[in-house]
Amino acid sequence: MAEPRNDNESSSKVPLHEQDPEKYSGSSDSSEDEIDGQNQEDLIRQMLRMKLHQGKSRTNEDLAKKKSGKVKNIITMAGAGISTSAGIPDFRSPETGLYNNLQKYDLPNPQAIFDIEYFEERPEPFFQLAKELYPGQFEPTPCHYFIKLLEQKGLLLRHYTQNIDTLERVANISGDKLVEAHGTFHSSHCIEPKCRKEYTQEWMKEQIMRDVIPTCKECNSVVKPDIVFFGEQLPDRFFTCLVDDFKICDLLIIMGTSLTVQPFANLVDRYIVKTLN
Ligand SMILES: [Zn+2]
């Protein structure tokens, strides 16, 4: 989320849901249905069929490998597009995009709401927004259950997500299979560097829902969900998993991201093309 846009997007990187939104976004009804085994199988078939039709020869080869059972280590990468059908606004979509709906917070600029320096001075706008969008009010989409199915089949090496909505965890994707590249609401920490006391999602939720600025019991500093703000480092886990994972990845599935947001954009160029060749 909340990272500066890099406009060097190439058409070959346009994700499935953006190429044909009606066909790919999934209806809100489907996200409310219980996804049974048959629906999951159908979903996989549909997604692979669509992937096959995207035209790249490597995709055909990948599918053939998948059918022959040679694919064993699948990496999935996901962005906001897999959660928009759950009702979570994409940060950059016109009209519904979050950055276009922040006037009420009286910010110096829209991105200030995720700027760590601004947050340290004035945390109220972030927590007001967090209350509106708090995880737990939304249901996972078929895409999330597709990733869970890959895990159940023993095929998921890792799921890299740019999303902070925790819908992967709601879909019961195991924590060790997840890399939440832009952080998560799953845990929170005191922002005072000498303290860094950890707090649970339940505790944070209670504070936010009561319209209280969460403060540390030890040092009285503000406590912030572990989502990555501007001016903050990505989680260590992102970098540690990255190197080993892409050495053994034999199929990469990219969903719901146009790969214009770092670090995913660079990731594909630097690691994945080389790895899959
Ligand atoms: Zn503290």
Q: In terms of pLDDT, which residue wins out, 240 or 55?
A: 240
d(CA 124, CA 122): 6
Indicate the annotated binding residues: 190, 195, 216, 219
Distance 227 CA to ligand 1 centre (A): 17
Distance 215 CA to ligand 1 centre (A): 8
Distance 124 CA to ligand 1 centre (A): 18
Q: In what order do the strands lie in the sheet with 183-190?
A: 198-200, 183-190, 223-227
Task: Read off the pTM.
Answer: 0.69
d(CA 80, CA 163): 6
Predicted pLDDT of residue 111: 82
Domain ranges of the chain: 70-88+141-182+247-276, 101-137+186-227
Q: In terms of pLDDT, which residue wins out, 6 or 260?
A: 260
* 8 Å CB contact between 225 and 52: no
**What is the CATH T-level fold of the domain 70-88+141-182+247-276, as seen in this structure?**
Rossmann fold (3.40.50)
pLDDT digits (tens, 9 = 90+) for 23-53: 333 333 333 344 454 555 555 555 545 544 4
Distance 222 CA to ligand 1 centre (A): 7
What would the DSSP string read from start to end of 120-165? HH--HHHHHHHHHT-TTSS---HHHHHHHHHHHTT-EEEEEE---S
d(CA 14, CA 10): 7
Q: What is the mean pLDDT of the chain?
A: 76
Burial 240-262 (b: 16+ CB within 10 A, else e): ebbeebbeebbbbbbbbbbbbbe
Distance 224 CA to ligand 1 centre (A): 10
In the CATH hierarchy, which top-level class contains the domain 101-137+186-227?
Answer: alpha beta
Distance 187 CA to ligand 1 centre (A): 14
Predicted pLDDT of residue 50: 52
Q: In terms of pLDDT, which residue wins out, 36 or 145?
A: 145
Q: Is the pLDDT of residue 141 over 90?
A: yes
Predicted pLDDT of residue 173: 96
Indicate the annotated binding residues for Zn(2+): 190, 195, 216, 219
* 8 Å CB contact between 181 and 234: yes
pLDDT digits (tens, 9 = 90+) for 203-217: 999 999 999 999 999
Active-site residue list? 182
* 8 Å CB contact between 258 and 15: yes
pLDDT digits (tens, 9 = 90+) for 218-250: 999 999 999 999 888 888 898 899 888 988 888
* 8 Å CB contact between 177 and 156: yes
